[in-house]
Amino acid sequence: MRVLVLGSGGREHALARALHRDPAVTALHCAPGNPGTAEIAANHQLDPCDPTAVTELAGRLRADLVVIGPEAVLVAGVGDALRTAGVPCFGPDRAAARIEASKAFAKEIMAAAGVPTADARVCDTTAQAEEALDAFGPPYVVKDDGLAAGKGVIVTEDRAIASQHAAACGRVVIEEFLDGPEVSLFALCDGQSAVPLLPAQDFKRAYDDDAGPNTGGMGAYTPLPWISADLVDEVMSTVVQPAVDELRRREIPYVGTLYAGLALTSKGVRVVEFNARFGDPETQVVLDRLATPLAKLLQACAIGALDPGFRPEWHPGSAVTVVLAAEGYPAAPVKGDEITGLEEASKVDGAYVLHAGTKLGAEGRLIANGGRVLNVVGTGPDLTTARARAYEAVSRITLRGSHHRTDIARL
């Protein structure tokens, strides 16, 4: 099977790594990829948000499957173009991707499908936003209605900050605060059926103890020893399948990963958000534990042949990923600094490094080229061991001004 992965971040490196392990994959390509994917795949330099360029590349490679990583690529309609050209694509088309691209649309789908979520108001004016903030009170939850690379949501006790964020975004969704821990669950969908992957937990705030601004994610781990055994079945029956059914009823079949961000509140499971793709950095740990070959599973979704009763197999043990972020992230990440120590980090037993925001500079030096620069993954027979290995590997990497959380997967 010839597979093309679109994107250049840590999620795409994790996808490429999982596909590289699949014996069914005979040729692996990434566009544009990064220095990490270049070690296991052929990178192709193009704009993954350009439907014409992607379709031409897929045709030239005679791709049997295209896997779309980033949400911006989905919203650009690349999935639509590939399907029109007859190329099997794992990733929803533009209409279905609105479940992430518009928080208001997601709330509309959830209301129609009876999916449990926070009470919310869609606000188009300052007056509407102020009324909603009055109604819900602190902690204030304000979400940019559109795509914001994981940084369009604020949760704050400060009314002035909440009002400023609403005014800066324009159209926002303001909703009640949901208490309880958060869990991420990915479901693979073929337009009609859905199959769950392993639940994970990520850490959104920039600094330890959930301090600082929201980010795209500073780390994650799986499995979660503290969740109930029946949580996945409950979420599939009350959240994922109803949403897939509602989209299908509207003639918007959902093909790809439906990411459910969940809050386990005192009143039960509530959906915090839907995303239209594999989450980052949860993908890095979930795919690490996946024992079932990935390519045919994604291809089954792409061609509408997913077995609804199928359940993937998982490696025993745990995985933890820690994000090494550039100086200034998330507000103003500094690019261009050299990264060293990756070879030493990879010598740690059960650890490895995924590239997220890197590129090759002068004389082949590896340099930072984004906010979240590296995902350092530790694995082991238990969470304690996996966590220790991840942080030991992090300690061997040098990037001037970089920072990371020290409390990922600390229970």
Domain span holding position 167: 121-175
Q: Is residue 408 part of a domain?
A: no
Tens-of-pLDDT digits for all 411 residues of the chain?
999 999 999 999 999 999 999 999 999 999 999 999 999 999 999 999 999 999 999 999 999 999 999 999 999 999 999 999 999 999 999 999 999 999 999 999 999 999 999 999 999 999 899 989 989 999 999 998 877 655 578 888 999 999 999 998 888 999 999 989 999 999 999 999 999 999 999 999 999 999 998 899 999 999 999 999 999 999 999 999 999 999 999 999 999 999 999 999 999 999 999 999 999 999 999 999 999 999 999 999 999 999 999 999 999 999 999 999 999 999 999 999 999 999 999 999 999 999 999 999 988 999 999 999 999 999 999 999 999 999 999 999 999 999 999 999 998
CATH number of the CATH domain containing 16: 3.40.50.20
Specify the number of domains making up the chain: 4
Residue type at position 264: L
Q: Is residue 31 part of a domain?
A: yes
Half-sphere exposure of 108 (CA within 13 A, CB side): 13
CATH number of the CATH domain containing 356: 3.90.600.10
Residues 170 and 186 in one domain: no
Residues 186 and 295 in one domain: yes
Q: Is residue 237 part of a domain?
A: yes
Measured over the CA atoms of residue 84, residue 85, residue 87 and residue 91, the dihedral's sign is: negative
In this structure, what DSSP letter does residue 82 have? H
CATH number of the CATH domain containing 252: 3.30.470.20
The crossing angle, in degrees rounded to 10, of helices 282-289 and 10-20 is: 10
**Under DSSP, is residue 67 helix (H, G, I), strand (E, B) or coil?**
strand
Residue 127's CB is within 10 A of a number of other CB atoms, namely: 9
Q: Maximum distance among all alpha carbons in the chain? A: 58
Residues 23 and 128 in one domain: no
Residues 12 and 58 in one domain: yes
Question: What is the value of pTM for the model shown?
Answer: 0.94
CATH number of the CATH domain containing 148: 3.30.1490.20
**Under DSSP, is residue 390 helix (H, G, I), strand (E, B) or coil?**
helix
φ/ψ of 299, rounded to 5, equals -65, -35
Domain edge (last residue) among 157, 175, 193 = 175
> Given the DSSP bridges, would you call strands 120-123 and 201-202 parallel, antiparallel or unpaired?
unpaired
Residues 85 and 168 in one domain: no
CB-based contact 174:140 (threshold 8 Å): yes
Contacts of 291 (CB under 8 A, 6+ apart): 312, 313, 314, 315
